[in-house]
């Protein structure tokens, strides 16, 4: 599986908690995930959502998704049409919630990625190509099982589609 998009960075790279991803003032008031997505990263960058194009990559530093374990944070990112979150590390529950909801989360060295860089993520080869800078970042190849879960839209959608967990 190969994904293409632009890098979207934030003014703060490390320790981006779930309240930064989607503010608490929206988490329980907005039920529509598409509307919720319009407020993604609003407290860090009020124009973040307006800069996004379908398939862009959210690029962060260490400990991305710390804080609350509620699913609204990865859901808001997914419904903002972000192709994947690239970070040095993730909070454990946030990382699991991403895959459960069908949002790709990749641990990698993000130091060489800048705002607007054109990226190609090759999940089979375990490689991120920074087309803008002519650089490559190695990542752990994503097992076919996980790629299938993502392609199906997450764990629940996969279960519905296959009437169980068969892959």
Spans of all domains in the chain? 2-162
So what's the pLDDT on residue 163? 84
Other Cβ atoms less than 10 A from the Cβ of 39: the count is: 20
CA–CA separation, 76 vs 33, rounded Å? Answer: 6
CB 127 within 8 A of CB 3: no
More confident residue, 70 or 45: 45
**pTM for this predicted structure:** 0.93
Q: From the centroid of its chain, how far is CA 155?
A: 16
> Residues 87-133: pLDDT tens digits?
999 999 999 999 999 999 999 999 999 999 999 999 989 999 999 99
Judge: domain 2-162, CATH 3.30.460.80. no
User: For the chain, what is the largest distance between any 2 Cα atoms, rounded to a whole number of angstroms?
Assistant: 44
Residues 44 and 11: beta-carbon distance below 8 Å: yes
Of residues 92, 55, 61, the one with CA closest to residue 77: 55
Return the pLDDT at 11.
86
**Can you name the residues that pair with 121 across neighbouring β-strands?**
3, 128
């Amino acid at each position: 599986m190969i994904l293409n998009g632009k890098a979207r960075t934030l003014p703060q790279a490390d320790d981006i908690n779930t309240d930064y991803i989607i503010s608490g003032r929206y988490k329980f008031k907005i039920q529509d995930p598409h509307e919720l997505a319009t407020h993604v990263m609003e407290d860090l960058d009020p124009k973040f959502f307006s800069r996004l194009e379908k398939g862009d990559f959210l690029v962060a530093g260490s400990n991305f998704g710390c804080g609350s374990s509620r699913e609204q944070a990865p859901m808001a990112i997914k419904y903002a049409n972000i192709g994947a979150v690239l970070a040095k590390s993730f909070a454990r529950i946030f990382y699991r919630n991403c895959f459960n909801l069908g949002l790709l989360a990749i641990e990698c060295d993000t130091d060489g990625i800048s705002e607007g860089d054109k990226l190609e993520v090759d999940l089979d080869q375990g490689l991120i190509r920074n087309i803008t800078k002519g650089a490559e970042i190695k990542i752990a190849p994503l097992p076919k099982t996980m790629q299938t879960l993502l392609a199906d839209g997450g764990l629940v959608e996969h279960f519905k589609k296959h009437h169980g967990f068969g892959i």
